[in-house]
Amino acid sequence: MEPGDFERNLGILVAYCAAIIAYNNDFLLLSFGPPPNTARYTMSTYPKGQIQTVCGAIAPEALGPTLMHEHIFGDIVPPALAAKDQDYPELTPQNFYEIAHNSVEYAPKFRLDEPEVARTEVARVGAVGGAMVELSNTGLKPQPEALRKVSEQTGVPIVMGSGNYVEEYQDPGFATASVDDLAAEIIAQLSDGAWCSDVRSGIIGEIGCQSPWTENEQRAMSAAVVAQQDSGAAITVHPGRHADQPMEVIELIRREGGDPQRTIICHIDRTIFDAERLYALADTGCVLEFDLFGMEQTHYLLADVDLPNDGVRVGLIRDLFDRGHRDQVVISHDICFRTRLRHYGGHGYDHIFLEVLPRMLRRGFSQADVDAIMIETPRRLLTFQ
């Protein structure tokens, strides 16, 4: 063997082995597709240990009492109604009742798109030192830059949601998107900016579910779990309108490695009406959100159920506290109709502060109990882990 032959032969052997490995990898990739959940291995950055608002990251202790589920801008007009080309009268005191109770079709009721009205309504929350989580996400025409402007104008910290609402509101591409596609989208909204803006989301959701739960919506929930694992953000869930659907969601989240203790099940007060299911859900460790405060009537236009009033909601929360679930309850109004804004004759975003919290104190809740609901639990959930 001549000098240098060994080194040359070794180099040829290494190159040959590398070629074989590359061929086999390509074969595996073509045969079985890319490895699942590639979104987990991003270089995304998150404000760990902080809360991401539409105006930037803040320390948890800077967040005051927080409404955990609201809509400031958005469009939730049912697609079938949106497809109708018709004019609508102005909303007045004379037609308010019919429109508020859905006795007549009225698409503008479902749109929150007036910046000055939004500024005035949100300022009422600022007057009591409050903060808000705004959950208009893909499908509901979110307006991140308008949210940031309102936050700057009023001084109210606003945390913006991410991900997809229910399938009915999604464009056709939703049906073909993979879990990784949907997860990568959420991760980008949390780490870079959402909906063609540089405004970052601070929570995952509200992730839309129906009953029966569609396959596409289940993929979206799986994507939310991937994004939670990558980011450390909490997930907030819009469950289907069946009493067993919240548990179905929690089972998927647990099965796929998500964290129930950082998962919020919304709309408890229109979904679960018996103690057995309520306590079983609480025992999973998830957070229960009573978010229809201000809706004092039993009428519910989206399902044939009898809603509780605010007094009953307070009583249900008292029962959960007595059972040891004090750190698993948050509250809000979920305002998504114009008729619930003060400007149009409704109760507004400050109803909980002005009416509900004083009632809770009169009903035996301590100030520490109220702070757990309004401050401590929201801070824990909104802080990136």
Question: At 159, which CATH number?
Answer: 3.20.20.140
Same domain, 1 and 53: no
Whether 187 and 200 map to the same domain: the answer is: yes
What pLDDT is attached to residue 42?
A: 52
pLDDT of residue 103: 85
105 plus 118 within the same structural domain: yes
Q: Are residues 80 and 15 in the same domain?
A: no
Distance CA 247, CA 235 (A): 15
Q: What pLDDT was estimated at residue 33?
A: 33
Record the pTM.
Answer: 0.88
Number of domains in the chain: 2
Residues 47 and 109 in one domain: yes
CA 36 to chain centre: 24
Task: Answer whether the bond into residue 115 is a cis peptide, omega within 30°.
Answer: no
Residues 47 and 188 in one domain: yes
Confirm if 121 and 342 have CB atoms less than 8 A apart. yes
Could you give the C-alpha distances from 229 to 52, 135, 273, in angstroms and in order? 17, 20, 32
Looking at the structure, do residues 123 and 19 belong to the same domain, yes or no? no
Q: What is the predicted pLDDT for the residue at 303?
A: 83
Please check whether residues 45 and 25 belong to one and the same domain: no
Residues 25 and 42 placed together within one structural domain of the fold:
no
The answer on 136 and 248 residing in a single domain is yes
Q: How many CB atoms lie within 10 A of CB 198?
A: 10
For residue 376, give its domain range. Answer: 38-382
23/125 same-domain check: no
Low-confidence ranges of the chain (pLDDT < 70): 1-43
Alpha helix positions (H), 101-201: 115-127, 144-154, 179-191
What is the distance between the alpha carbons of residues 111 and 104, in angstroms, rounded to a whole number? 16
Domain co-membership, 4 together with 86: no
Q: Helix 144-154 and helix 115-127: axis angle, to 10°?
A: 40
Tell me, what's the pLDDT at 43? 58
